[in-house]
């Protein structure tokens, strides 16, 4: 049995992930390789979706996974690495090691795949390749001829310098890895992108890591099932089947499956359903124990964009001690159905690279507590988010603290109230003011000043660094060493 299985194994093309810091030339590098201009089509000049491309070099295929470099897309970069056989760590020769360079290296090491280094922008006058190589040594990347065995190549996406050498290195590393696959098996692999098309329904981009996917196969991913109706290659051409290492786009899922989920396919639906199961739950983003809780809906063009928005919000929430209660994170335009899920007392709705459907207009006009933020650039959202939360979801102050007093003496109660002596340490104390009893920085109770005296004479106010006597209406017992905080409603 083992010999028969081994006979079915044949060499398969390598799947290569391209990782690195924002604007270090990842997409431009792939553009040169595949002779396209994807970079120019991206909003803001950055890649905001994961993409997969297949090229041919000396009659041998290589599949590339292009990933965004901005820090908000760390989940996408991690997912890309998990689907790949080999990684290219891209470092700009004029800028050197940056935060996402280090993060990308962590992802590579986590999944334990071999990698090479591409020093991009080598044609620029500011390029300092030797300086960058030393920086790489400092983060544990030991290059060939620099005390290690990590392959590297200097490349230019403008002149084409080093591109052929880069591809040769990839194919050599693939041979050393002895990558094999069995075309006779049902296909399996990883979902790297998914979106909802108004006419075609869920559209899912996948990398096949083994086996062959055919029309009318049943398919499961992330608890979502379907039947393959359309298979397209990375150029958008319709095909009848695809095999391992191929990037494909599929139509046929009943719903949009989670990005990053493993997919399985085959002819028997009931067997696949047992193989593939998932569990979903409501998420709390940011500081989960915060008293500031903001209902949140995210709508985006593709799932990976929604993940990036999630990560941005989670980071902001932790920094600000806010909790975002995620009601929904889905692809597609903002619809009436989405608004029906909102909390009428206030919900933050983020539309990232999507539009509002016409039927939402009246609902939004009639409920000003539904706050919508729209945008197309991920790093523009943070300021908008912060301003929206502060303006619409934080409680406005209803009181003003006017002073603080340290309790120095406690006398016998007078008519059920408490007579104390103290020193004003901050602000001022006013007669008839509200007072809050603090002990070990904790609130013990609240009361009211009945009478205020300074030098045993009735007074309307006593200022900082002055001593006074007070008759306090407060049911909790006041002790020496406590503090009284004086406030008034505004």
For 413-437, the pLDDT digits (tens) are 655 689 999 999 999 999 999 999 9
Mean pLDDT of 329-353: 84
The helix/strand/coil state of 337 is helix
| Residues 421 and 450 grouped into a single domain | yes
Residues 385-414: tens digit of each pLDDT: 999 998 888 876 667 899 999 999 998 765
Residues 48-100: tens digit of each pLDDT: 665 788 888 888 889 988 766 555 555 665 666 668 899 999 999 999 999 88
- What is the predicted pLDDT for the residue at 490? 64
| Residues 263 and 332 grouped into a single domain | no
Q: Residue 277: which H helix or E strand, with range?
A: none
| Residues 61 and 200 grouped into a single domain | no
| Residues 134 and 264 grouped into a single domain | no
pLDDT-above-70 percentage for the chain: 88
Q: Which of 333, 359, 392 is the last residue of a domain?
A: 392
Ranges 38-47, 294-303, 358-367, most confident:
294-303
Does 347 score more than 60 pLDDT? Answer: yes
| Residues 383 and 429 grouped into a single domain | no
- What is the predicted pLDDT for the residue at 154? 96
**CATH (domain of 226):** 2.40.30.10
| Residues 120 and 135 grouped into a single domain | yes
Domain of 380, in residue numbers:
283-392
Tokens, residue 64: 């590339």
- What is the predicted pLDDT for the residue at 288? 77
- What is the predicted pLDDT for the residue at 281? 45
| Residues 158 and 204 grouped into a single domain | no
- What is the predicted pLDDT for the residue at 75? 60
Which residue from 458, 417, 454 is spatially nearest to 435, judged by alpha carbons? Answer: 417
- What is the predicted pLDDT for the residue at 322? 92
| Residues 27 and 160 grouped into a single domain | yes
Q: Residue 67: which H helix or E strand, with range?
A: none
Residues 367-378: tens digit of each pLDDT: 888 999 998 888
d(CA 418, CA 470): 8
Q: Which of 392, 421, 438 is the last residue of a domain?
A: 392
Give the chain's mean pLDDT.
Answer: 85
Mean pLDDT of 114-121: 95
Q: Higher-confidence residue: 439 or 290?
A: 439
Does 271 score more than 60 pLDDT? Answer: no
Does 16 score more than 70 pLDDT? Answer: yes
d(CA 172, CA 236): 29
- What is the predicted pLDDT for the residue at 415? 57
- What is the predicted pLDDT for the residue at 411? 87
Count of CB atoms situated within 10 Å of the CB of 390: 11
| Residues 24 and 105 grouped into a single domain | yes
- What is the predicted pLDDT for the residue at 14? 93
Residues 313-339: tens digit of each pLDDT: 999 999 998 999 888 888 889 988 788
Q: Which of 234, 258, 275 is the last residue of a domain?
A: 275
| Residues 174 and 199 grouped into a single domain | no
| Residues 357 and 297 grouped into a single domain | yes
d(CA 177, CA 193): 27
Does 40 score more than 70 pLDDT? Answer: no
68, 77 in Cβ contact below 8 A? yes
**CATH (domain of 330):** 3.40.50.10050
Confidence of residue 225 (pLDDT cuts 50, 70, 90): confident
User: Which alpha helices (DSSP H) does 322-380 contain, by range?
Assistant: 336-339, 361-366
Buried-state track 105-133, b at ≥16 Cβ within 10 A, e below 16:
bebbeeeebbbbbbbbbbbeeebebeebb
User: Positive or negative, the Cα torsion across 391, 394, 396, 400?
Assistant: negative
472, 420 in Cβ contact below 8 A? yes
| Torsion of the alpha carbons at 327, 332, 336 and 340, rounded to the nearest 10 | -10
d(CA 11, CA 4): 16
Number of domains in the chain: 4
The region of weakest confidence among 181-190, 280-289, 313-322, 470-479 is 280-289
Residues 100-117: tens digit of each pLDDT: 898 888 888 877 889 999
- What is the predicted pLDDT for the residue at 278? 40
| Residues 474 and 352 grouped into a single domain | no
The residue behind tokens 């940011």 is 286
- What is the predicted pLDDT for the residue at 420? 95
Does 159 score more than 60 pLDDT? Answer: yes
**CATH (domain of 69):** 3.40.50.300
The region of weakest confidence among 93-97, 288-292, 443-447 is 288-292
């Amino acid at each position: 049995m083992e010999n028969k299985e081994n006979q079915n194994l044949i060499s398969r093309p390598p799947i290569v992930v391209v990782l690195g810091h924002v604007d270090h030339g990842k997409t431009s590098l792939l553009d040169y390789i595949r002779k396209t201009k994807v970079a120019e089509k991206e909003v803001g000049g950055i890649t905001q979706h994961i993409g997969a491309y297949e090229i041919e070099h000396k009659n041998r295929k290589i599949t590339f996974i292009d990933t965004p470099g901005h820090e908000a897309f760390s989940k996408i970069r991690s997912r890309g690495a998990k689907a790949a056989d080999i990684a290219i760590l891209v470092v700009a020769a004029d800028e050197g090691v940056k935060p996402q360079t280090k993060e990308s290296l962590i992802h590579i090491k986590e999944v334990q795949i071999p990698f090479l280094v591409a020093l991009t922008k080598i044609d620029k006058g500011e390029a300092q390749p030797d300086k960058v190589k030393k920086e790489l040594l400092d983060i544990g990347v030991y290059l060939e001829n620099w005390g290690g065995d990590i392959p590297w190549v200097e490349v230019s996406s403008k002149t084409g310098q080093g591109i052929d050498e880069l591809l040769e290195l990839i194919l050599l590393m693939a041979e050393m890895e002895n990558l094999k696959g069995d075309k006779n098996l049902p296909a399996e692999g990883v979902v790297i992108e998914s979106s909802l098309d108004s006419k075609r329904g869920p559209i899912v981009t996948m990398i096949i890591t083994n086996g062959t996917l055919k029309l009318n196969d049943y398919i499961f991913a992330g608890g979502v099932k379907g039947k393959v109706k359309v298979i397209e290659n990375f150029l958008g051409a319709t095909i009848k089947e695809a095999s391992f290492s191929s990037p494909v786009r599929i139509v046929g899922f009943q719903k949009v499956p989670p990005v990053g989920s493993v997919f399985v396919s085959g002819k028997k639906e009931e067997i696949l359903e047992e193989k593939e199961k998932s569990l979903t739950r409501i998420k709390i983003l940011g500081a989960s124990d915060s008293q500031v809780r903001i209902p949140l809906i995210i709508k985006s063009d593709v799932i990976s964009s929604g993940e990036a928005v999630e990560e941005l919000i989670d980071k902001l929430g932790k920094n600000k001690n806010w909790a975002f209660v995620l009601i929904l994170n889905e692809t597609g335009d903002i619809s009436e159905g989405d608004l029906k899920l909102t909390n009428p007392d206030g919900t933050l709705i983020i539309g990232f690279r999507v539009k509002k459907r016409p039927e939402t207009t009246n609902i939004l006009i009639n409920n000003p507590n539904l706050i919508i933020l729209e945008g197309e650039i991920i790093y523009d959202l943070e300021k908008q988010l912060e301003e929206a939360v502060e303006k619409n979801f934080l409680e406005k102050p209803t009181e003003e603290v006017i002073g603080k007093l340290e309790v120095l003496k406690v006398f016998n109660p007078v008519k059920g109230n408490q007579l104390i002596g103290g020193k004003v340490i901050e602000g001022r104390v006013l007669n008839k003011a509200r007072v809050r009893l603090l002990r070990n920085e904790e609130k013990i109770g609240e009361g009211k000043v009945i009478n205020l005296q300074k030098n045993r004479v009735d007074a309307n106010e006593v200022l900082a660094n002055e001593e006074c006597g007070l008759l306090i209406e407060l049911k909790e017992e006041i002790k020496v060493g406590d503090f009284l905080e004086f406030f008034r409603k505004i």
